[in-house]
Amino acid sequence: MTIKIGNAPCSWGVEFADDARNPPWTRVLDECKAAGYDGIELGPIGFMPEDPALLGDALAARELTLIGGVVFRPFHDAAQWDDVKQASIRTCKSLVAHGARHLVLIDSISPRRAPTAGRPDEAEPMSKAEWQGFASRFRDIAKMGTQEFGLTVSLHPHAAGFMDFEAEVERLLGEIDPSFLKLCLDNGHSHYAGFDPVAFMKRHRERLSYVHFKDIDPVVKADVVAKRTDFYKACGQGIFCNLGKGTTDFKAVKKLLLDTGYDGWCTVEQDCDPAGPTSPVDDARANRDYLRSIGF
């Protein structure tokens, strides 16, 4: 059994491929390696080159493994289905070209849900028809990623979208065949949504295929939830603190993974403002040092 530790471009503030504030992709690769990681995620499609030779040479030169990629798109919006599907196809092709394994599906932020991030009792539910379409879109992309591209596809709950709180995550997992939709749990987003990631992972351990390591500052969380702060402003305020400085019990996470024979990648994702006051490479290095200190 081997647990490998990676990082992701979102730890450098890269949430959208066309954000002018993004650092160069080569810098992200350089700093990821310099901070002590063995692998990296693709980031939003279009951030890193889609030319397999160009990206492949860059990864090889730094001895970095491409772990997987995230489709962070509005699965909740039927009118955006073509965008979701095209982004998914492009991401799958890029992952397969480099032997990456993980395709992670995330419903992006919705204006209908953003004000109730961290407030499960107030969040607006979907209508029956909306939910049926929502679940169907996840099902279709999961089947495509699994059956057409041979990837391991997982669901990732995320604050301020329609796949956020524990009950709705349970509902979707219950409606989609686990043979083609697994679970990628992010510790920080679980705490943001108000449920215990360790208990959730334990309950769904057979379905857990991938883990995102994130910590959350409880003081900042309380403030942004109370003020209904925009998710990206909350990131800029440091809601996702360095690992070991917040709510997540990483020692308990480690024990669960080791006790149940987890074999694969755990990827640090410290969502931040690309123009923020802290140095992403310094945070990445501190996070890697912390994980080593507890045996990862």
68-92 pLDDT, tens digit each: 999 999 999 999 999 999 999 999 9
> In the chain, what are the domain boundaries?
3-293
C-alpha atoms less than 13 angstroms from C-alpha of 190 in its C-beta half-sphere: 26
Mean pLDDT of 214-236: 96
253: amino acid identity, one letter: V
**Residue 162, C-beta contacts closer than 8 angstroms, at least 6 positions apart:** 75, 76, 107, 110, 112, 113, 126, 134, 168
Q: Encode burial over 125-148: b for 16+ CB neighbours within 10 A, e otherwise.
A: ebeeeebeebbebbbebbbbbbee
More confident residue, 209 or 277: 209
Question: Model pTM greater than 0.85?
Answer: yes
Query: Does residue 1 have a pLDDT over 70?
Result: no
CA angle 113, 143, 1 (to 5 degrees): 90
Tens digits of residue pLDDT in 122-145: 999 999 999 999 999 999 999 999
Closest CA to 96 of 47, 35, 55: 55
CA–CA separation, 102 and 92 (whole Å): 9
The fold for domain 3-293 equals TIM Barrel (3.20.20)
CB half-sphere exposure, 66, CA atoms < 13 A: 28
C-alpha distances in Å from residue 210, one per residue of 65, 126, 193, 255: 15, 27, 19, 16
pLDDT surpasses 90 at 277: no
* pLDDT for residue 278: 80
